[in-house]
């Protein structure tokens, strides 16, 4: 199969899985997992890593690592991405839809997460005064005095998984498993759906 044919198949799968998870049916959670798996496997995930849906005490599924949701995913640079997304099905005027209750994307150097670099968090209904969508960075400031960056919650708009993957490839030099033309097209196709339906949190009071 040529690269153009492989890309056409992948883009078709992205569109199909996007429509299936947007439908809000009993199979939508699995379609969302398959979409996340597709874009990660086309970009920064090693062949030995996999995402899965877990069900704990709550009926709401959590997308995350192979065994436990907080298990980090091994990346092509040898580091890790801890990805967790709690999902729900919610009634809307258009019918039932799959929503993300919370998500966290953390890039870390070790499996245990003691040495993490950055983290994006999102809470649909934040119980704390922190911004509903925010970025934390583990690093030192050159200016502004003695401020610990990992304790600062920088407010952001909702950040897509696709944007995090681009950041890893472009700024942290995580090798992509496919060619640039391929992974950019797959991420753009998937992210366009996210941007069209993503919940935008209001600023903290």
List per-block mean pLDDT (blocks of 10 residues) for the chain, which spans 205 residues.
88 96 92 97 96 84 93 98 95 89 97 96 84 90 78 90 98 97 97 88 62
Q: From the CB of residue 87, how many other CB atoms can be counted at a distance below 10 Å?
A: 20
Give a yes or no: residue 98 inside a domain.
yes
- What's the pLDDT score for residue 151? 86
- What's the pLDDT score for residue 204? 56
Supply φ then ψ for residue 32, to 5 degrees: -65, -45
Domain count, the chain: 1
How far apart CA 96 and CA 26 sit, in angstroms, is 10
Give a yes or no: residue 24 inside a domain.
yes
Contact 63, 50 (CB under 8 A): no
Contact 134, 116 (CB under 8 A): no
Q: From the CB of residue 178, how many other CB atoms can be counted at a distance below 10 Å?
A: 17
Give a yes or no: residue 202 inside a domain.
no
Give a yes or no: residue 36 inside a domain.
yes
Give a yes or no: residue 205 inside a domain.
no
Spatial CB neighbours of 36, under 8 Å, sequence gap ≥ 6: 51, 63, 83, 85, 161
Give a yes or no: residue 62 inside a domain.
yes
Q: Pairing relation of β-strands 80-92 and 95-108? A: antiparallel
How far apart CA 11 and CA 13 sit, in angstroms, is 5
- What's the pLDDT score for residue 142? 77
Range of the domain at 135: 3-197
- What's the pLDDT score for residue 93? 86
Closest CA to 76 of 161, 197, 165, 198: 165
Contact 173, 32 (CB under 8 A): no
Give a yes or no: residue 99 inside a domain.
yes
- What's the pLDDT score for residue 202? 66
- What's the pLDDT score for residue 119? 97
């Amino acid at each position: 199969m040529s690269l153009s044919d492989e890309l056409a198949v992948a883009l078709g799968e992205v569109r199909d899985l996007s429509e299936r998870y947007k439908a809000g049916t009993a199979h939508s959670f699995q379609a969302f997992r398959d979409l996340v798996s597709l874009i990660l496997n086309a970009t920064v995930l090693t062949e030995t890593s996999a995402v899965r849906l877990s069900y704990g005490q709550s009926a709401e599924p959590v997308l995350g690592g192979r065994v436990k949701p907080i298990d980090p995913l091994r990346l092509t640079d040898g580091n890790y991405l801890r990805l967790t997304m709690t999902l729900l099905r919610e009634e809307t005027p258009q019918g039932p839809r799959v929503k993300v209750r919370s998500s966290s994307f953390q890039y870390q150097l070790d499996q245990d997460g003691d040495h993490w670099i950055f983290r994006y968090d999102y809470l649909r209904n934040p119980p704390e005064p922190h911004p509903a969508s925010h970025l934390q960075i583990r690093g030192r400031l050159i200016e502004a005095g003695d401020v610990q960056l990992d304790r600062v919650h920088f407010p952001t708009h909702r950040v897509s998984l696709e944007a995090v993957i681009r950041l890893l490839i472009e700024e942290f030099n995580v090798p992509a498993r496919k060619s640039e033309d391929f992974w950019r097209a797959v991420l753009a196709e998937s992210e366009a759906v996210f941007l069209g339906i993503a919940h935008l949190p209001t600023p903290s009071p």
